[in-house]
Chains A and B, each alone.
Chain A
Amino acid sequence: MKPKNGGRTSTVTTRTRRDWEENTLGHALGKKPERKKEFTTVSNLPIERLYALEDLKGWDPAGKLGFPGEPPFTRGVHPTMYRGRLWTMRQFAGFGTAEDTNKRFHYLLEHGQTGLSVAFDLPTLMGRDSDDPLAEGEVGREGVAIDTLADMEVLFKGIPLDKVSTSMTINAPAAVVLAMYLAVAEKQGVPLEKLEGTVQNDILKEYIAQKEWIYPPVPSLRIITDMVAFCAERVPKWNTISISGYHIREAGSTAAQELAFTLADGIGYVQSCVDAGLDVDVFAPRFSFFFNSHNDFFEEVAKLRAARRVWCALMRDRFHAKSPRSWMLRTHVQTAGCSLTAQQPINNVVRVTLQALAAVLGGTQSLHTNALDETLALPTENSARIALRTQQIIAEESGVVNTVDPLAGSYFVEALTDRLELMAWDYIHRIDQMGGIVPAIEQGFPQREIAEAAYLYQRQVDAGEKIVVGVNRYSEGDNMKAPTLKIGAEVEPGQVARLETVRQRREKDRHAKVLKRLEHTARTKENLMPAILDAVRAYASVGEICDTLKTVFGAYREGRVQL
């Protein structure tokens, strides 16, 4: 089509960037310099004054963007994205006893939440029972305490497991907790192939960032591959690993490090399963991801878009997966807990809103929004509801869901997406040269990179170079007090007593026999899952099962930490 005004617009379009820089910009800068010499993201990535067509030189929209639901999935994994279905609003919950958490689950389901998400307490996460000496003071504090199948039965009481999808944030003892969930389903009469949900089951990021480990990396990967193989056959709708950058970011990494180390962990799992003889197109579609959404809006959007592009290339070109479902990076996102402030906590609602919006514009499949009081304690019912409402306002009122990948084609967003992609590849190649993610972890490489970034950021905050509203700037005013949730002192002794009752009541011979069989299986190359299932059905505790495996696999100890 010819432009109606013939050639007249060309006088406008021939003005070059240099013309603009020399005249309009030069004039403006002459009158008033910019506020800072350098503008950077929260991760210290330098950002230019202006992005324009020349920043995307050689940029090929077909290769870099494609279409939604098609490789390289930069624009999202579904053709219609949120026009077809909104993201899953999945608020993480768990505290005190199984009974307390069960009540919270019923409350959240009644308020429109569409998926459950279970937080476990530290002893459970570390594979220890509530009466373990190291568990003292920690039972039921940061999540729900689960010792045996009896607790799991209470946790899901009145919740039909074929009607909900359940995400369980558990890693080192994930196989045990999943086995308990399967056993509850059996008792409810729900066939395993109907179960939907996720276990985090990402041990590599534990060594890198969250530090909740039990066994050394190699046997840990064996347990994971066993679970992946078992689920592929028996629980086909279960998402077996949620490869998590969230904790890497919370440990102080940059956005690029979060992206790169998470993808490197993903490579580690895929390689490990391929090495075990599994078909990549059978297990890879059940791997999902879990990213953080931090304060720097466009950096977060670009990170999620870059993640999909890199994963697609890895799965297609490195692992030769045939099915496009294996190439898709599906992800959950949680807003950044570490970005919230104890000072003026109501401000956190605003931070969470921006972070949640970035996750949505980045094309997430599910989202947890943090509650405003999460730096102080576990959320109260009221603050948890505000967090859920934040997502509902974005979904129902803001209009950002009306079109797919609305930021595509922005010079800045595309340039930043490319930049993060390049930074991720650079780290991935360095880790390849170390022999993969396990040797890299053993050498402390990702750990050091993250500690370095965390220290730099803290120095910048202390020096006032990075602004945290209400903390190092605008700190005057009311430190609005938020009421916090208290975990009663009775939780720990109560849980210890319940565990003791189960120990008294269970069939002792059967219990001894299943643990013996488990130990034997661990020494062979047989899949561990059936033996673990038998153990939980016999009411063996998380601690007993993990200790049994420890006698074969050993316990992990962190090497000397360099300051």
Chain B
Amino acid sequence: MMLKSELNRMDDLTRRQLIAKTAKAALGVTLLPIGSQLARGAATAAAGGKAKHVIYLYMAGGMSHIDTWDPKTGDTKGPTDPIKTKASGMMLGGTMTKMAQQADKISIIRSMSSKTGVHDQGNYLMHTGYDPRGTIIHPTMGAWGTHFLGRMSKTLPDSVIVNASGGAGAGFFPPAFSPIPITNPAVGLQNIQPTTADSNFKKRLDLMNEFDAGFRKKFQSAEIKAYSDFYDETLSLMKSEDLKAFDLTKEDAATRAKYGTGSFGQGCLLARRLVEHGVRFIEVQTGGWDMHNNIDTAMGTTGAGMDNTFAALLEDLASKGLLESTLVVMGSEFGRTPNINENAGRDHYPKVYSTVFAGGGVKGGFVYGASDEGGREVADKQVTVQDYLSTVGYAMGLPVDEVVMSPSNRPFTVGDKGKPILELFA
């Protein structure tokens, strides 16, 4: 035991580290909130915590704010004129014709601001709330959810990421918290059935473990252990009754067509199925947003496709009564330059951009914050990426101010000490 005086001599952080150690837990030890503004109970009891599920729509490449959620009429106007929507006073970019009809379901934050105009860093930040560092990988929101709330389904994974693989994933949490990557939603989860009889499959597994025992004993690295965990995880998933959640052929042709036949449309349909079967956090990515050239054409394809799919998803969730318990969030690493460049496109612009929230207890037809006339600067209520992710965490009922120690004994919180935007919630 350490002497009390010594304990007092240590600075605050080291003392917390020591407490964390003596708590005997190796991973993701939870400490009491420090400087607590929102206790866990308060978060769940108030408007937050209604989002049992989250669908994160990630627009890779940097979605132009002016051509989508924050339209302008002056000299920075894009190729289309802003249009009126079902929500009074809320205007949208001219391509967002179908979302205009769903505007009563969404909240827009028009005063997002970050410092990084680089895809890699921006992407990491919009998923973790932290800048990338060479010394640690931070968890993404789904992994935070699993950490605080436990697994939702016994056999299905807690997080799924569609149209992407890699990324920060579980961060410093156990690899089993990683989202399952589905790189092609149309085929879903492939190879789910063993190609041999169950009894023989078991023999194969036993044989594998016997042959591999020496190697695993010699190399006890986290990487090897993670692989072994994935084998366990996969075996339990193979027994799941809910695997049809991944099978889009169970949907009728009209529904599949309505969402859009591309990977984003099918990905969002898959997300809805996963929500129905008890998956907590589903991210669906789509690219094509790095519109440095000919933004007119690009918005006509990528923009219109997103508009169609997003609207179909909201409509579908609402009609199935899932929108109250499902938060749909749309984000991107940054916005795009207000000025159209010489290639009729727009370049990277982190200074001000927009994100969208729908369902999960947030208001409809609501706009939070504003950019200035040209969409160049934040004019009102600046929102950081940390605030944004804390808001998502708040909606999920996560204790966003609770400090969690990484295995390397460094303190982290959901959304890196951002402040949830409470005004967004109904």
Task: Report whether chain A binds chain B.
Answer: no
B interface residues with partner A (beta carbon < 8 Å): none
